[in-house]
Amino acid sequence: MKFAYIFPGQGTQFVGMGHDLYEHFSLAKDLFHRANEILKFDIMRLCFFGPIEELTETKNCQPAIFLTSVITLRCLEDYLSARLKDRAQGLLNPSACGGLSLGEYSALVAAGSISFEDGLLLVRRRGEFMEEAALDNKGTMSAVVGVERDELERIAAESGAEIANINAPNQIVIAGSIDAVEKAEKIALQKGAKKAIRLNVAGAFHSSLMDSAAKKLMVYFKDTPVLKPNFTVLSNVSAYYSFLPHEIKANLINQVNHTTLWLDCVRTMIDLGITRFLEIGPGKTLKGILRKIDPNLAVHNIETFADIEIFYNEVLSEEE
């Protein structure tokens, strides 16, 4: 069975995420407590009890989402290994792996390219650097629905905004200064856009206003080991994959201030023959996006113990 792991990005956080797994898996307990030690603050409390305002801060939500996603993956692996024994190995080796923006770090940990500890520290620093850049360079983001990619690129060039995320056909996010984004929204609506939805974000992520964050991340990355991944991991900036550690580092750095090509990543996975996806981590955002890309794709949400049980039963019935 060809399938891919996919991991969510920033914005999927909610108070209580990961708590169900903490209650059902000793492995989850160990990793949450280990994360507190690594980060030297109580990220477990923040995930479980909030408050949401503190959890949503960029420096906090990035490690929180990463942590919950990786713990969810480890619990899935633990559950399948215990029940399927030798048969589990094939199910724990996806044909490809990807993540939306921040989720790419979870994907690389899944593939053994970055360690859990290094990944957690990386996304904490990434969040801090992006938050600092947002304070220094005031900006915003807006999701524009109903305009073709080429047309929106022309609108962005005219207004001074930039294309930040290409998530699905006719669902593209722009970023930039507040004035530039407002101008782009007006032009897009005049040219037939269905709507422009201003996002509740701290800054203009994935745009040139994040240049300082990318530079800081590059310096921090120098001492972080990155290994050849055990399976294909798609890059957000190229929509392709690399097994070369220096290219993986460069892609993660460039991702901060360049367009994320999630639509193209999904299409690359489809071209590899993948039609089944496991969305691992908080929320169901990616399932909604994949439905817009191709409603025939099968997407299993893995977020709770019950989700893992459901997936296990479906796998067994298909195998039989």
Structure tokens at 62: 């990035």
Does residue 135 contact residue 44 with C-beta atoms inside 8 Å?
no
Spell out the alpha helix ranges (H) of 50-148.
Answer: 52-56, 58-84, 88-91, 103-110, 116-136
Does residue 263 contact residue 290 with C-beta atoms inside 8 Å?
no
| Backbone CA torsion sign across 161, 166, 167, 172 | positive
Structure tokens at 203: 């800054």
Maximum distance among all Cα pairs of the chain, rounded to whole angstroms: 59
Q: How many residues does the chain have?
A: 320
Q: How far apart are CA 3 and CA 277, in angstroms?
A: 5
Catalytic residues: 101, 206
Of 61, 206, 212, 60, nearest to 136 (Cα)?
212
